[in-house]
Amino acid sequence: MDHFTYRSGALHAEGVPLDAIAEAVGTPFYCYSTATLRRHFEVVRDAFAGLDALVCFALKANSNLAVVRTLGELGAGADVVSEGELRRALAAGIPAERIVFSGVGKTRRELEFAVDTGILQINVESEPELEALNEVARARGKRVRIAVRVNPDVDANTHEKITTGRKENKFGIEWTRAHAVIRRASAMPGIEVTGVAVHIGSQLTDIAPFRDAFLRVRDLVVMLRTDGVALTRIDLGGGLGIPYADETPPSPAQYAAVVRETLGDLGLKMVLEPGRLLVGNAGILVTRVIYVKEGATRTFVIVDAAMNDLMRPALYDAHHAVVTVRQPDPGVEPIHADIVGPVCETGDTFARRRPLPPVESGDLLVLRTAGAYGATMASTYNSRLLVPEVMVNNDTFSVVRARPTYEEMLAMERLPEWMEAAPKGR
């Protein structure tokens, strides 16, 4: 459920008409709904009621400070994967003791920063990383809390590019080796092993792979206990899917039921790392139709957003629902159109042969379910300005990331000293 609905013939974000924001900010822009963020967080929190679970929002899904702050104020922690994300989480006011640091390739500098910050836990994904972290911690006279991320070799049945828990994926420590690695880590002076972590992929629409992975984690925890290694925490990752089209992913309550059934009796604290589930439906991308062009075999609706602003369709053939801001008249005959951006690649296509109410130049369109992995994956390809972000709260809105100017874009670059200054352009 979200708070983007038609009122008096126009799509609103909560109480604000989207055409008013478009007028003020220009297009394209991302728009986030505070009420939707809040609702999603509460649904997840309530599903886990009674379990000692910390919801650490995966910043990679949406790292805008206002979004992170909104979730942080509701009690969320953060799952970060780089120094940049760690700094963002702190800047948004997430306390260090609610931050976990994941990722296969943390540099020594990043490990040092995390150890100095004193975060809740670092999820270690390889033996070389474990050794590096032990050295970093010892050099500082500290013991650092870690979880060992295991690779349970479970197929998540999701898009190949976002599956992470099979043995041929780069993530985690092979689950049959995990026991030995944890015992080794337990003997390291700079390391305190507090738990195991698992994350098998993103946009999962089946519950079974979660159950398989959690049961493997359970076996490992029980075996370690028998060997006298007592863990206090398990980190279950993220990955629960959301509906983009006609998928029917498990609900947070169904997911939590599987967690209770497989791991609930172990008496461990839990960390969850949902990303998409919290923010996906809380964001949309608003764009304006530039031209409607009749091609030889199809109609192209050319909009001012492009693959650089929302990469998911180009990268994963992802589906995003497209609606008009003006409420369509009931019974209107739809056109079937390819919705494309201005970038010079055929891959810059948001939808193919999509039924759509008839539109014309100047109309506003909305790509729905764009709050996760939208703005965070945007680039300036084709020297397009980075897309701005707006947050709505009831009847007000605020620009929470401004559209840069062309001067700001060019100011990052300079010519080497052996070149003559370029003639002043206009």
Residues carrying an active site annotation:
344
Q: Give 56 or 325: the residue with its C-beta nearer to ligand LLP.
A: 56
Question: Which residues, 6+ apart, have CB-to-CB distance to 261 below 8 Å?
Answer: 211
User: Using CA atoms, how far apart are residues 301 and 398, in angstroms rounded to an integer?
Assistant: 29
User: Using CA atoms, how far apart are residues 393 and 404, in angstroms rounded to an integer?
Assistant: 23
Q: Which helix (H) or strand (E) holds 67?
A: helix 65-73
**Residues making contact with ligand LLP (CB under 6 A):** 58, 60-61, 79, 102, 162, 164, 199, 202-203, 237-239, 273-277, 312, 316, 373
Q: What is the DSSP string of 127-192?
A: HHHHHHHHHHHHHTT--EEEEEEEE------S-GGGB--STTSS-SEEHHHHHHHHHHHHT-TTEE
Q: Give 29 or 373: the residue with its C-beta nearer to ligand LLP.
A: 373
- Among candidates 46, 84, 31, 25, which has minimal Cα distance to 251? 46
- Among candidates 271, 273, 134, 138, which has minimal Cα distance to 193? 134
CA angle 298-299-304, nearest 5°?
A: 135
Closest approach of ligand LLP to the CB of residue 24, in Å: 28
Q: Give 113 or 255: the residue with its C-beta nearer to ligand LLP.
A: 255
Residue type, 190: G
Q: Give 79 or 389: the residue with its C-beta nearer to ligand LLP.
A: 79
- Could you tell me the CA-to-CA distances from 350 to 62, 311, 366, 375 in Å, in that order? 20, 9, 11, 15
User: Using CA atoms, how far apart are residues 275 and 143, in angstroms rounded to an integer?
Assistant: 29
User: Using CA atoms, how far apart are residues 324 and 10, in angstroms rounded to an integer?
Assistant: 9
Q: Give 190 or 241: the residue with its C-beta nearer to ligand LLP.
A: 241
Closest approach of ligand LLP to the CB of residue 150, in Å: 12
Q: What are phi and psi of 269, to 5 degrees?
A: -70, 150
Closest approach of ligand LLP to the CB of residue 247, in Å: 13
Q: Give 14 or 195: the residue with its C-beta nearer to ligand LLP.
A: 195
Closest approach of ligand LLP to the CB of residue 79, in Å: 5
